Amino acid sequence: MKLLLKAINMIRECDPKAFWMRIFYVIVLSLLPLLNLYILKLLVDTVTTGNLPVMGGVEMNAYILLGCFCIIFLLDRLVNVCNGVNNDVMQQRLVDYLSDRMQRQSARLDMAYYDNPEYHDTYHRAQQEASYRPLQVLSGFMGLLSSVITISGIVVMLCTASVWIIVVMIVAVIPSFVVRIIKARKLYAFRRGNTQSYRRTSYYTALLGGRDFAKEMRTFGLAPHFQEKFVSVRRTLVRDILKISRKLAVYDSVCAVVETAALFAVTMFLIISTTNGDITIGSFVMLFEAFRKGQSQLSTLVSSISGLYDNKLFIGNLFEFLDLTPSIENPENPIPFPEKVETVEFRDITFRYPKMERDVLSHYNLVAHAGEITQIEGENGFGKTTLLKLLLRLYDTDEGAVLVNGVDVRQYELTELRRGIAAIFQDYVRFFCTAEENIAFGDIQHYDPERVRYVASLTGADSYIERLPKGYDTMLGRLFDGGEDLSMGQWQRVALARQLYSDAPVLIFDEPTAWMDVPSRDKFYNTLQMLKEQGKVIILIKHV
């Protein structure tokens, strides 16, 4: 219950006005059908007996009653229309709210989470269900409220005939309630237990349809192979879930027989009572419709309760993700990051990635000084890129310390630390934005178009950006309309310009010339010498 209330409160925070309007509409829509049932009884009795009922001191003839019946019908339709618009508003607000929460949460979590398959399972479950589960919780609560109000009125009506009708109506729905709870538990257990299988289907879909994979998928003819894998996983999932569905369908059929028997028994009782003159024809119509509506509302009540139970299980996935906490956080009393960095030191560093059995770095030592180019060379897997990640505190060391000006990086505020260290990774990101944005992302809070062009000239990126259809305003990449694609070497020079735009005192280059031609490399090393003379701490990572 705590999780459900937490979800309801989250929806209320999205749009309080729409939330309370939803409750108002539900109450109105629950009362109007009851009022119409009573008006229908009076109308039938008036037509069949000629007796005119008196309401509020006014004698009601058939035409007035018919008018009231139609007005209530119209009001019900109009309120439903307003409720539909209000639901659309809430849906959009909720999507935006949850997207914001999940994006912020993803951005604050440590890199270590991305190395953990369990994290990807948690994120997948949350992502799959975040857009609709909380609203389903609200719908379940509203359905529960609506059913309780309507059933209360129906119980009052049915009591005029016999209390046993109410007992039969309630007992007939119990088997259906039990079956739905069992179904909710089985489906939840199945989906949670097969999260990785669902993630595999998403991965295979990305391979078959993603642009980044298209070249090699076609070059090596891999599409049939991964299509077969996709079909194999889906076949297993479908087989297992249909097995559960068919088994529960048998129980649902038994429940339908029980409810039909209850309808038959109550209808026979009402026919006999009407034939004996115990109730009027109008009362027969009202009670018959009340019983049918009661059955329907009890079914809705069961659906709402079982749906809430079902959503309680699944909504836990969302909050499980939102409740994750990063282990790398700001110190309580951070030290200001220095404007001038003299040294960067890796002192007796030992580190292994989460759930790995061997150390990537073991008692490693290195000191880089300002005004020098410090090269780190090694074979693949040596741990060169890992040093960069430790310096940026994307991970923390298991042993030893990373020091800037003799101060442990864990003493600095994270944003200041990362603003003071500009890095280009060997797997740099190609942002499908304008060329100017791609470069200005190096320090997005301090946009300066003149500096964008200056750093582009330092890396040679200006030579081809200025020839693009819209120059620096040209969209890069072919993902969106009007985009212009670049070669890998051109993309790399854009990434270098992004790094230099930050004007950070510490510069880390991880294989910065891997995609460059000879003239571009010469220009890069000339720029490197200029940065060295400016007193920057420069670390150059290279393969051997």
Judged against a pLDDT cut of 60, whether residue 58 lies above it is answered with no
Judged against a pLDDT cut of 90, whether residue 402 lies above it is answered with yes
The answer to whether 398 and 390 are in contact (CB under 8 A) is no
Using left for φ > 0, alpha for ψ between -120 and 50, and beta otherwise, residue 537 falls in beta
Cα–Cα distance list, 51 to 158, 282, 461 (Å): 23, 12, 93
Beta bridge partners of 476: 484
pLDDT tens per residue, range 64-106 = 888 888 898 899 889 989 988 888 888 788 778 877 887 787 7
Strands 421-424 and 399-404: unpaired
* Predicted local distance difference test score (pLDDT) of residue 353: 83
The band of 50, judged by pLDDT with boundaries at 50, 70 and 90, is low
What percent of the chain shows pLDDT beyond 70?
A: 91
Long-range contact pairs involving 489-492 (C-beta distance under 8 Å, separation at least 24): 489/515, 489/516, 489/517, 489/520, 490/461, 490/464, 491/428, 491/430, 491/515, 492/428, 492/516
Residue 297 half-sphere exposure toward CB, CA atoms < 13 A:
26
* Predicted local distance difference test score (pLDDT) of residue 137: 74
* Predicted local distance difference test score (pLDDT) of residue 183: 79
Q: What is the dihedral of CA 460, 464, 465, 468, to 10 degrees?
A: 180
* Predicted local distance difference test score (pLDDT) of residue 51: 65
Q: What does the DSSP assignment read for 329-384?
A: ---SSPBPPPSS--EEEEEEEEE--TT-SS-SEEEEEEEEETTEEEEEEE-TTSSH
The band of 10, judged by pLDDT with boundaries at 50, 70 and 90, is confident
Residues sharing a CB contact under 8 Å with residue 481, sequence separation 6 or more, in sequence order? 475
The answer to whether 286 and 37 are in contact (CB under 8 A) is yes
The band of 46, judged by pLDDT with boundaries at 50, 70 and 90, is confident
The answer to whether 476 and 434 are in contact (CB under 8 A) is yes
The rounded distance, in Å, linking the Cα atoms of 536 and 423 is 13
According to the per-residue pLDDT averaged within each range, which of 7-16, 49-58, 123-132 is highest?
7-16
Structure tokens at 498: 């992004």
DSSP state of 448: -
* Predicted local distance difference test score (pLDDT) of residue 39: 83
The band of 47, judged by pLDDT with boundaries at 50, 70 and 90, is confident
* Predicted local distance difference test score (pLDDT) of residue 358: 85
Residue 451 half-sphere exposure toward CB, CA atoms < 13 A:
17
Rounded to two decimals, what is the model's pTM?
A: 0.67
Judged against a pLDDT cut of 70, whether residue 124 lies above it is answered with no
The answer to whether 426 and 388 are in contact (CB under 8 A) is no
Average pLDDT over residues 270-289: 81
* Predicted local distance difference test score (pLDDT) of residue 67: 86
Average pLDDT over residues 376-387: 79
DSSP state of 478: S
Structure tokens at 470: 């819209």
Cα–Cα distance list, 238 to 182, 190, 279 (Å): 19, 11, 53
The rounded distance, in Å, linking the Cα atoms of 159 and 291 is 11
The band of 341, judged by pLDDT with boundaries at 50, 70 and 90, is very high
Is residue 512 classed exposed, middle or buried when 0-12, 13-18 and 19+ CB atoms within 10 A define those classes?
buried
* Predicted local distance difference test score (pLDDT) of residue 467: 92
Q: Where is pLDDT greater, at 127 or 542?
A: 542
Q: Is the dihedral of CA 37, 38, 39, 42 positive or negative?
A: positive
Structure tokens at 247: 């088994």
* Predicted local distance difference test score (pLDDT) of residue 450: 93
Backbone angles phi, psi at 265, to 5 degrees: -65, -45
Structure tokens at 277: 């003159």
Average pLDDT over residues 445-458: 91
Average pLDDT over residues 110-124: 71
Judged against a pLDDT cut of 80, whether residue 364 lies above it is answered with yes
Beta-sheet strands, E only, within 39-139: 54-55, 58-59
Backbone angles phi, psi at 351, to 5 degrees: -155, 140
* Predicted local distance difference test score (pLDDT) of residue 457: 92
According to the per-residue pLDDT averaged within each range, which of 33-37, 45-49, 398-402 is highest?
398-402
Lowest mean pLDDT among 198-202, 408-412, 464-468, 499-503: 198-202
Residue type, 74: L
Residues sharing a CB contact under 8 Å with residue 420, sequence separation 6 or more, in sequence order? 337, 338, 341, 404, 412, 504, 505, 506
Judged against a pLDDT cut of 80, whether residue 392 lies above it is answered with yes
Residue 238 half-sphere exposure toward CB, CA atoms < 13 A:
7
Average pLDDT over residues 269-286: 81
The band of 437, judged by pLDDT with boundaries at 50, 70 and 90, is very high
The rounded distance, in Å, linking the Cα atoms of 507 and 202 is 37
Residues sharing a CB contact under 8 Å with residue 195, sequence separation 6 or more, in sequence order? 121, 124, 125
Backbone angles phi, psi at 373, to 5 degrees: -105, 110
Query: Reading across the β-sheet that carries 506-510, which strands appear in turn?
Result: 372-378, 537-543, 506-510, 421-424
Judged against a pLDDT cut of 90, whether residue 411 lies above it is answered with yes
Lowest mean pLDDT among 7-16, 49-58, 263-272: 49-58
Q: What is the dihedral of CA 62, 65, 71, 76, to 10 degrees?
A: -120
According to the per-residue pLDDT averaged within each range, which of 109-113, 283-287, 428-432, 515-519 is highest?
428-432
pLDDT tens per residue, range 474-484 = 999 887 788 88
Q: Give residue 249's Cα distance to chain centre.
A: 31
Average pLDDT over residues 422-433: 86
* Predicted local distance difference test score (pLDDT) of residue 53: 64
Average pLDDT over residues 158-186: 79
Average pLDDT over residues 242-263: 84
The rounded distance, in Å, linking the Cα atoms of 65 and 522 is 93
pLDDT tens per residue, range 487-539 = 888 999 999 999 999 889 999 988 888 888 888 888 888 888 998 989 999 99
Length of the chain: 544
Structure tokens at 458: 């330092």
Average pLDDT, the chain: 83
What percent of the chain shows pLDDT beyond 90?
A: 21
pLDDT tens per residue, range 305-325 = 766 766 666 677 777 777 888
203: helix, coil or strand?
A: helix
3-state helix, strand, coil in the chain (%, to 5): 65, 10, 20
Strands 506-510 and 537-543: parallel
pLDDT tens per residue, range 292-309 = 777 777 777 777 776 676
